[in-house]
Amino acid sequence: ISNLESAMQMLIKTFHKYSGKEGDKYTLSRGELKELLLEELGSYLGVRCDNEAVEKVMNDLDANNDGEVDFTEFIILMGALTVACNDFFLEKTKRGERV
């Protein structure tokens, strides 16, 4: 299995690790999203994940306004965060800093 295939499997497994603890097993509630952000992305986000931050992320992601984040909406978040991380590392590299 390739690294990219492994990464795709990990995204799917991670989503389903948190989805369904509250309500629909195929979506993330606000509480599930907050837990996922804290547990899985805490070091990348680097900030305290408070209710206001979760609300902002939830509102930005919840394209269909159902109050939950489905897998497609979750992948949009992961894509945006990956682009932001790539941009951050490119800037550091351009400035000659070690990554």
Q: What is the pLDDT of residues 20-78, one digit of tens each?
A: 888 899 999 888 988 898 888 877 665 555 667 777 777 787 777 888 899 998 998 89
SS3 81: helix
CA nearest to 30, candidates 87, 68, 83, 60: 68
- Predicted TM-score (pTM) of the model is 0.77
| Whole-number Å distance between alpha carbons of 70 and 47 | 24
Domains of the chain: 3-94 (1.10.238.10)
